[in-house]
Amino acid sequence: MSKKNNPNDSSSKLIFSSIFLVGKYLGLGWVIITPTIILTFGGNFLDNKLNLGYFMTLMGLMIGLIIGIIGTVRILKS
């Protein structure tokens, strides 16, 4: 019994690989936004507790963006 070349088999592989790539790239938004929002609100909380103005909020924003960019680069390299 020989296995015949089925054109539907290759098209289903193409569909599944396309769905995988779409899911991978749709998740990038969460990788960038989540640490940025969490660290910005954490910095805002510390600013209110320590009366530092906007210093910790801006630090949280910058650190969150850096973490998000590093996570995005790691996902895109894989």
Extents of the domains making up the chain: 27-77
Nearest to 35 by CA among 69, 67, 70: 67
Q: For the chain, what is the mean pLDDT? A: 87
* pTM of this structure: 0.72
- The predicted-structure confidence for 26-58, as pLDDT tens digits, reads as follows 888 899 999 999 999 999 999 999 999 999 999
pLDDT at position 3, please? Answer: 55
More confident residue, 22 or 58: 58
- Distance in angstroms between the alpha carbons of the first and the last residue of the chain: 39
pLDDT at position 7, please? Answer: 56
What one-character DSSP code corresponds to residue 2?
P
The band of 4, judged by pLDDT with boundaries at 50, 70 and 90, is low
